[in-house]
Amino acid sequence: MSVNLSVIEKVFEPIHEIINNSSKITITTHVNPDGDAIGSTLAFYHYLISQKKECKIIIHSTIPYNFSFLEGSEYISQYNDSFDDFILSSDTIFVIDLNDIERTKSPADIIKKSKAKKVIIDHHINPKDFADVYLVDDNATSAGELVYYLIKSNDSFKFTSTISECLYAAIMTDTGTFRFPRTDGSIHRIIADLIDNGANPVYLYEKIYNTRPPRVVKLFGEAFAGLEILFDGKVCVMTLTREHFKRAGAKNEDVEDIVEQSLTIKNVEIGILFSEMLDSDEIRISFRSKGDINIREVAVKFNGGGHQHAAGARFYNASIEEAKKLMLKEVGELITNY
């Protein structure tokens, strides 16, 4: 099912009015940002700068290595309390690619204190009630798709190659390089428009997917070496402990894309990656699924969320064995129902 343009168009004018009446704007996104989060926030940043707005992107995490090439990534700031004055004095705060302010992590408290107008641009279901305006459609492939429609609705604006490349990166990554179910003709028409306006598909794919540092490849190897195939071959489980990270010389953010590979294994319908974070007691669980299997049903039982085929959750103060035992019990029950 595609985006319902007749519904989301109703909030375009109010958002443009908010932008026009703002002089200082903060943009933020979720912890551990992916390609959609980085690409869509950067595209929107460049758009706001073109509208002569003072603007900062302030997030909790560092930028993943394979998105640091995007123009403007050097202006993404990792939050500390020195940014509080800017956030508190902003006229508007745009929250992109998330529907719960807590997912911004460290900036969450100061954002909640701010009296700025708050606007959500997101494609996840069940948004929390914390904003003034919601540009939300869970039928969208990505936040980047929604940012595209919003910018496109400004008839006096022409897409630049920089904005086009950022949005292409956002949409490409969140559609699994255009292979996930919601990649329909409307998405390819958006992509064609972005290419016509300067996005280079070959360059962007190469920079995002074919520039892995050796430490990342080693981490992939650690994950693959210990993979388990369970539930009659339908479930692939991979585990990365702190020892695996240390052996590979890898970082927390280097797990991106590993779980995707589990679905390339014959007959596997659910892929799960358990990762022990290096700098905390957190265990991050990444899920992927195929077909009719809604893996989000498992994630939400553990205070997680996401989409039908891509979701995540976190455990704290538990061993990785305990986390796996609890999670696999739920996954076993889920897969027997399909």
SS3 for 220-240 is HHHHHHCCEEECCCCEEEEEE
Backbone angles phi, psi at 26, to 5 degrees: -105, 140
Is the dihedral angle over the CA atoms 256, 257, 258, 262 positive or is it negative?
A: positive
Within its chain, how far is the Cα of 121 from the centroid? 12
**Biggest alpha carbon–alpha carbon distance for the chain:** 58
Tokens of 129: 């009630």
pLDDT at 100: 92
Give kind and range of the element (H or E) at residue 336. Answer: helix 320-336
pLDDT at 180: 86
Is the dihedral angle over the CA atoms 275, 277, 282, 288 positive or is it negative?
A: negative
- Long-range residue pairs from 76-81, CB within 8 A, at least 24 positions apart, any chain: 76/38, 76/41, 76/42, 79/106, 79/107, 81/110
Amino acid (1-letter code) at residue 123: H
Amino acid (1-letter code) at residue 271: G
pLDDT per residue rounded down to tens, the chain (338 residues): 788 898 999 999 999 999 999 999 999 999 989 999 999 999 999 999 999 999 999 999 999 999 999 999 999 999 999 999 999 999 999 999 999 999 999 999 999 999 999 999 999 988 889 999 999 999 999 999 999 999 999 999 999 999 999 999 999 999 999 988 889 999 999 999 999 999 999 999 999 999 999 999 999 999 999 999 999 999 999 999 999 999 999 999 899 889 999 999 999 999 999 999 998 889 999 999 998 999 999 999 988 888 889 999 999 988 999 999 999 999 999 988 77
Tokens of 46: 């460049």
pLDDT at 129: 92
Euclidean distance between CA atoms 147 and 132, whole angstroms? 17
19 exposed, middle or buried (CB, 10 Å; 0-12, 13-18, 19+)?
buried
DSSP 166-221: HHHHHHHHHTTTTTSTT--HHHHHHHHHHHHTT--HHHHHHHHHS---HHHHHHHH
Amino acid (1-letter code) at residue 156: S
The domains found in the chain, sorted by start residue, are 5-209 (3.90.1640.10), 214-336 (3.10.310.30)
